[in-house]
Amino acid sequence: MSIENLSSNKSFGGWHKQYSHVSNTLNCAMRFAIYLPPQASTGAKVPVLYWLSGLTCSDENFMQKAGAQRLAAELGIAIVAPDTSPRGEGVADDEGYDLGQGAGFYVNATQAPWNRHYQMYDYVVNELPELIESMFPVSDKRAIAGHSMGGHGALTIALRNPERYQSVSAFSPINNPVNCPWGQKAFTAYLGKDTDTWREYDASLLMRAAKQYVPALVDQGEADNFLAEQLKPEVLEAAASSNNYPLELRSHEGYDHSYYFIASFIEDHLRFHSNYLNA
């Protein structure tokens, strides 16, 4: 595979780098960021945390705002942040912020015109890890995390692929997209009107039916203005309870949906993942 290095910045003894590559899965050029901790320079292969961002975000938001590099360097964990959707001329888009470019929802679209490019599920599960593991000094020990739409993506991907991930975490995820406006709009466009096809991208439904478990941590702010209508953490919590799923769901008074919330608790998430990645 051919990749182009767009930028490099030393950080806490490691390197934050941004790359572009042509994705065969998405039929367009894609950008991703990677933080390589100092341990990756010693010849050792380090485990990887994949971070999936939310609506309107790119590969840059988490790397610039979350403050994760210091602890990732200490723990010896690489972080990979892909973009949130295909982009570019000829890639389908929508005027709304919650559909189209910047809003891929981590699904494999089946409906035109979206199905030509919007195969984000396959990209995150297969193509991107294959590229990362072939081009960088990382192991095949993986964890996955995300925020909002990306929290939905992280949970559904881990639940559907328990053999591929050691752990999963999310901030303010869309827990029950089949029953919220964001999910219903995106799923109708990308997957069509047959709601049975939506179920494989709903974390609450997947968790209720899971046979294999990936340890999960979810943090939710109580002052999140999307909490009641869009996020529905109580549905995920009920699903976990019904299936004895190893989910720790924490609620935090006063915190909203922003990266101020993520930066406040990202250390907990990295230590959570380290327990499983470095076991």
Strand 78-82 and strand 46-52: pairing? parallel
Q: Catalytic site residues?
A: 148, 224, 257
Q: How far apart are CA 270 and CA 74, in angstroms?
A: 10
pLDDT averaged over consecutive 10-residue blocks of the chain (279 residues)?
93 98 97 98 94 98 98 98 97 98 98 98 98 97 98 98 98 98 98 97 98 98 98 98 98 98 98 95
Tokens of 79: 């972080």
The pLDDT of residue 26 is: 98
Tokens of 144: 């996955």
Tokens of 172: 């303010």
**Taking the domain 3-278, which CATH number applies?**
3.40.50.1820
pLDDT per residue as tens digits for the range 85-96: 999 999 999 999
Of the candidates 87, 79, 78, 91, the residue with the CA atom closest to the CA atom of residue 30? 87
pLDDT per residue as tens digits for the range 12-71: 999 999 999 999 999 999 999 999 999 999 988 999 999 999 999 999 999 999 999 999
Q: State the sign of the Cα–Cα–Cα–Cα dihedral 207, 208, 210, 214.
A: positive
Q: Give first-to-last CA distance, the chain, whole Å.
A: 31
Q: How far apart are CA 210 and CA 234, in angstroms?
A: 18
- On whether the CB atoms of residues 32 and 51 are closer than 8 A, the answer is no
Residues 6+ apart with CB under 8 A from 95: none
- Domain boundary assignment for the chain: 3-278
